[in-house]
Structure 1
Amino acid sequence: MERSNSIDRRTFVHGAAAGVAGLALGGLPSPLGAHAAADRDAVIAKIASGHAAALTMLRDWIAFPSIAAENRNYPQGAEYMARLARDAGFANARLVPTSGKPGVFGTLDVGARTWLGLYFMYDVKQFDPAEWSSPPLEGRLVKKEGVGTVIVGRGATNQKGPEVACLAALHAFRAANVKLPVNLVLVAEGEEEIGSPSFRQIVLTPEVQAALHRCVGVVIPLGNQGLDGRVQVNLGAKGVIELELVASGEKWGRGPARDVHSSLAAQVDSPAWHLVQALNTLVKPDGHTPAVEGFFDDVRPIGDAQRRILEDAIPRMSEAETKKALGVTRWIADEAWHDSLVRLVSQPTINIEGLVGGYTGPGGKTILPHRAVAKLDMRLVPDMTAAKTLERVKAHLAKHGFGDLEVNMTGGYDPTETPADSKLVHAMMATYRKNGVDPLLWPRLAGSWPGATFTAPPLNLPAGQFGLGHGAGAHAPDEYWLVESTNPNVVGMDGAAKSFVDFFYELA
């Protein structure tokens, strides 16, 4: 089984870092007092004895996919998430209704001084079983050379594997009869894979918002390790808009109202060409620079502090490894590696995810399609907003003669930013270092997650990704999560769970 060339949007640069010395999880050098250190060791021991139960939890969850785009397993997926939360100690976990798919909310209050928010998603991407080497809902254990034993299945790394690692840590605290060093607020959604259209409704529910206001920050569990063992701490993420552009004879008032014979292209307008011509106006002749009027007006240049972080990080990143992971041989305009990384952090983008129209089966079918669809995503940087950017795209299309196109935004949110000096970031960095990893501080993830709901008003909380462990193939066939590692640089599922134990103590 080979790793797909498709790179998880949340973890783009993980495979890019240079090699790191072997990782040691034992013997944590910690300022914990003797009693707390003994408690921690007792919890860690329970992670090992609970390994089989955690693996069963993950396999069972993989077998029960919630897919928002297909309306599959709703509200059952939310109820499943709530049960997992209750089993891990969130006794009051309950469903939060929205205009879309329900969320899940719960608190675990142990009387600690510090509160931490946990963001979970219970939905997964669609899949085609024909593209997989083992059934995507089976959760089969597979030996992967140079990695170890992995569990293969849709959602294995995005995000069920890392989330189960976090839940396994909570189960270990309960099994060891040790009180958590922090209080927790859990917020989960079931629409992340369609752009989180209802997530703000969940978070701004008065009870949820009040609980989150007590937190020092919010983390999403993630297997952050590349195969070299390195991890990345991101001080933000790009925002995103996901949308469809639809050209049709009915809306246009030209072209056919149904598919017709292609010979009629001599006298009948083509909605498919109309869509292609509209798409061509969205970028400059170089094929990548956005050409929408006003698109860059709100882009804030990289500040001095972020520039220093970027320049410190770039020398630690491997161009050769990144090219290998992505299956590319050159960057845009043949620019230098350094410049391509600056672009990755600082530039908004307009990308075509897919084009659908007419006949795409075997052989030919001589038709003139009455309808064509383009699926786009746009990545946003501060101080762009999803709402204003969408209006600019609509205005641009109308100005250029394409006001008839349907513009259907299916999801999206604004960029996130988290201060480097926040308690959350300090705790992440310290936990990684105590586990033998020198983390790479990075200004902004090129991918997106709905953390803006936490980092923007009214909450204004630090937020980011945390966790040791490794997985790959998110959104792609043969997605996997590492269960038992044979790679000395990378931890398996138990090591990922241990990282959460250490993080909780560090944050406290």
Structure 2
Amino acid sequence: MNQSMIGKVYEDIDKNFEKYVKELQQYLSQPSISATGEGIEETAQMTAEYIRRLGSKDVRLVRFKDGHPIVYGTITSKNAEKTLVLYNMYDVQPPEPLEEWISPPFAARIVDGKVIARGAVNTKGPVMGMFKGLESYLNVYGEFPVNLVFIIEGEEELGSPHIPEFVKMYEDDLKKCDAVYMHGNDQEEDDTPAVHLGVKGLLYFEMEAEMGSRDVHGSLATIVPNPVWKLVWVLKTMKDESNRILIKGIYDDVRPPTNEEIEMVKDIAARKDLQKFKEFLGIKEFRGDLQGLDLYIENYFKPTLNIDGIVSGYTGPGTKTLVPAKARIKMDIRLVPNMTSEKVWTLVQNHMKEHGFNDIKLIKRSAYEWARAPPSSHIAKSVINSLKQLGYNPLVYPTLEGSAPFYIFSKPPLNLPFVLAGFAYGFLAHAPNEYIKITQYRESIRLMATILENFKSS
């Protein structure tokens, strides 16, 4: 790395930082709620324009019959030997409950050194950090050292339903790329930056019980079946009190962590302050009072069966006795190597049949496969070295606890290593008062520029 030139990039970032903050606020002030469609078209156009400003002569909104556009753009450099895909998202979650925000979710106001807005960390803030890091690099060098491919979608919060179709459309071009990077919200609660080399997979589904055509008075509970109880009985067959999933065959394909992964986790366990983490999460104890290495092995290498929500009956103020006609449970299963969403979905269906719950309707909502990048990959080394050059000792995780459509890039036919890193806390990503610190935004910009410089020679 040319320290003199990258130093000039940092100087350019400092010189333009006030303008960069205003552009961040403008981007965050534009709603882009994928669940409702509010502001999606406007944000897609804004995102495309930022790519054009970086010199792309080929930016397009790739549209689908039923869905939101993917912003796709390319920049080709004269002497570049490598091509880096920059994947990200411009859509956000709904901001409700609105009354819990200390500042309107799309006002993007600066409060106590933080920009508070929906999308501040997940992930329009990091997207703008990526754009501004590239802009300052271009201001100093005049061109990029690698070819760039931008894939910024508007449906990540909906399960990325059109990313597979998109990859198939552009498969020949994407096969020529070398790696995929997502500039995200990967910072610990103690400000240590993190690098994630993968994600868990996800199977999201609903179970619905319908016992009548309408709700009836609660006094009839003696003779009228209650769909909530029916779903409670279903749940009792799916998981025991020790947290073990009881769906037959679900653990058959779970591979144990490799020695390399264990070493990563040992470093995490030695450096993480679990008490502070508990306080940040607002809990007194971890499940089963898990501690140390056991906690991290459970968290990163075991599947989950989680209840996201139960919808039924009366939940308003006061009293109202009734037997509801319908009940619905939203659930997710996080998948680890070498599970597949298709097989697990079949196991869930078989479980329901074997226990006689044929009258329960199962609805599959979305599915992601898991993904992993080796720490020896050029993109992983570029990101880790960049953080070290910025003065940090990053935590390197074998996987994110959550899920994203990384598998689309990391599995056949593309087989590209995919890495996630960045500056910002992800814990309030879907909650009120989501924010990014001004200091984090500056580091996000500096990191993107540094990764670009390192990736060209890795």
Question: Which category describes the TM-score, using the shorter chain as reference length?
Answer: over 0.9
Q: Does 1:172 align with 2:136?
A: yes
> Which residue of the partner structure matches residue 91 of structure 2?
123
The letter of the residue matching 1:89 is G
Between the aligned partners of 2:252 and 2:282, the Cα distance in structure 1 is: 33
1:33-112 correspondence to structure 2 within 5 Å: 37-98=3-64, 99-111=66-78, 112=80
Query: Structure 2 unaligned runs (5+)?
Result: none
Question: Contact 1:416 / 1:455 at 8 angstroms: preserved in 2?
Answer: yes
> Which residue of the partner structure matches residue 345 of structure 2?
390
Deviates more, 1:171-180 or 1:412-421: 171-180
**1:371-406 CA distance string (max 9 Å, x none):** 111111111001111122112112211221222222
Question: Contact 1:118 / 1:184 at 8 angstroms: preserved in 2?
Answer: yes
Question: Contact 1:234 / 1:443 at 8 angstroms: preserved in 2?
Answer: yes
Q: Does 1:501 align with 2:449?
A: yes
1:130/1:229 CA distance change after superposition, 3 Å = closer
1:404/1:54 CA distance change after superposition, 3 Å = farther
The letter of the residue matching 2:37 is N
Between the aligned partners of 1:125 and 1:88, the Cα distance in structure 2 is: 28
Q: Secondary structure at the match of 1:447?
A: strand
Q: Does 1:139 align with 2:95?
A: no
1:173/1:432 CA distance change after superposition, 3 Å = closer
> Deviation at 1:469?
4.9
Q: 2:158 aligns with which of 194, 198, 202?
A: 194
Between the aligned partners of 2:141 and 2:398, the Cα distance in structure 1 is: 39
> Which residue of the partner structure matches residue 225 of structure 1?
187
> Deviation at 1:119?
0.7
Q: 1:242 aligns with which of 204, 208, 218?
A: 204
Question: Contact 1:195 / 1:242 at 8 angstroms: preserved in 2?
Answer: no
The letter of the residue matching 2:420 is Q
Question: Contact 2:28 / 2:125 at 8 angstroms: preserved in 1?
Answer: no
Between the aligned partners of 1:479 and 1:81, the Cα distance in structure 2 is: 21
1:505/1:224 CA distance change after superposition, 3 Å = same
1:38/1:230 CA distance change after superposition, 3 Å = same
1:76/1:280 CA distance change after superposition, 3 Å = farther
With the length of structure 1 as denominator, give the TM-score of the two structures: 0.85
> Which residue of the partner structure matches residue 146 of structure 2?
182
> Which residue of the partner structure matches residue 161 of structure 1?
125
> Deviation at 1:432?
1.0
Between the aligned partners of 2:41 and 2:350, the Cα distance in structure 1 is: 37
**1:32-84 CA distance string (max 9 Å, x none):** 2xxxx454333333222322332222222222222222233344443333233
> Which residue of the partner structure matches residue 13 of structure 1?
none
Q: 2:320 aligns with which of 353, 357, 365?
A: 365
The letter of the residue matching 2:371 is T
Q: Secondary structure at the match of 2:414?
A: coil
The letter of the residue matching 1:168 is K
Question: Contact 1:142 / 1:150 at 8 angstroms: preserved in 2?
Answer: yes
**1:65-113 CA distance string (max 9 Å, x none):** 2222223334444333323322333331111123432212111111211
Question: Contact 2:40 / 2:91 at 8 angstroms: preserved in 1?
Answer: no
Q: 2:362 aligns with which of 394, 397, 407?
A: 407
> Deviation at 1:266?
1.5
Between the aligned partners of 1:95 and 1:114, the Cα distance in structure 2 is: 24
> Deviation at 1:462?
0.6
> Which residue of the partner structure matches residue 269 of structure 1?
225
The letter of the residue matching 2:142 is V
Question: Contact 1:471 / 1:481 at 8 angstroms: preserved in 2?
Answer: no
Q: Secondary structure at the match of 1:69?
A: coil
Q: Does 1:257 align with 2:219?
A: no
1:333/1:174 CA distance change after superposition, 3 Å = closer
Question: Contact 2:423 / 2:443 at 8 angstroms: preserved in 1?
Answer: yes
Q: Does 1:465 align with 2:413?
A: no
Question: Contact 1:394 / 1:403 at 8 angstroms: preserved in 2?
Answer: no
Query: Structure 1 unaligned runs (5+)?
Result: 1-30, 144-148, 249-254, 486-491
Q: 1:376 aligns with which of 331, 338, 359?
A: 331
Q: Secondary structure at the match of 2:35?
A: helix
Question: Contact 1:157 / 1:472 at 8 angstroms: preserved in 2?
Answer: no
